[in-house]
Amino acid sequence: MQDTRNRVPANTDAEINKKIRDETDARVRYYQQHKNDIRSRLRQLDEEWDIERAIECNASALAFTGVVLGATGDKRWLLLPAMVTAFLFQHAIQGWCPPVPILRRMGFRTASEIEQERQALKALRGDFAGISNDNADAILSAVRA
């Protein structure tokens, strides 16, 4: 069983993980040159949905739809919430379920990936004593360690 922090990336295609990481790195490098905009980006990160939230929203909408359709129409619709809860269980255990590859391709990140960008931006801004804030690559390495 994968640890919580790495279970989604471990079950994501390496090319998609690289794309997500490269996009994060590019943003951090951008903000190294535009430090006055870091506060705004940090607010955006506070609003960003992580993949867990997207999966929960997707699953609850599908399950609710299946229950309503099963209660008001054909009982076979009750298979939908049964499948959704099975997929949620699979995701909780393995970090993978059918929506994960789609959501990752759409750019949904894990909470940990979002937090890495947040901490790198705070370091660039100078929030941490003793850490040089002029090297984005060194900061990115430090927050991923």
Question: Helices 38-47 & 111-125, crossing angle to 10 degrees?
Answer: 160
Q: What is the pLDDT of residue 1?
A: 66
Question: Helices 14-33 & 38-47, crossing angle to 10 degrees?
Answer: 150
Residue 110's region, left for phi above 0, alpha for psi from -120 to 50, else beta, is: beta
Domain ranges for the chain: 7-144
For the stretch 9-51, pLDDT in tens is 999 999 999 999 999 999 999 999 999 999 999 999 999 999 9
Query: Quick one: pLDDT band at residue 55, thresholds 50, 70, 90?
Result: very high
pTM for the predicted model, two decimal places: 0.90
- Direct distance between the N- and C-terminal alpha carbons of the chain, in angstroms, rounded to an integer: 21
Res. 114: pLDDT tops 90? yes
